[in-house]
Amino acid sequence: MPMYEYQCEKCKDIVEVLQKVSDEPLTTCEKCGGTLHKGFTNMTFHLYGPGFYTTDNKRKYLK
């Protein structure tokens, strides 16, 4: 599940929420009742394991 970041328009508080993609976005701040807006953050994406880098020894598949 992705992590979404929301910022309150009224108190400027930033909230990070773990939500499903199919969940409805949050609209109300729990602290002050202001309007929340979904922000954009940098995603972290890592590829682990052999074969992802040019320096790795890759398998040679038979045809």
Q: What is the pLDDT of residue 59?
A: 61
- Where do the structural domains in the chain lie, given as residue ranges? 3-38
Q: Which DSSP string do the residues of 11-59 spell out, in sequence order?
A: T--EEEEE--TTSPPP-B-TTT--BEEE---PPP----STTSSTTS-PP
pLDDT by residue (tens digit) across 8-60? Answer: 999 999 999 988 889 999 999 999 999 999 987 666 666 666 666 666 565 66
Phi, psi at 23, each rounded to 5°: -70, 150
Query: What's at 53, amino acid-wise?
Result: Y
Rounded Cα gap, residues 4 and 13, in angstroms: 14
CB 6 within 8 A of CB 30: no
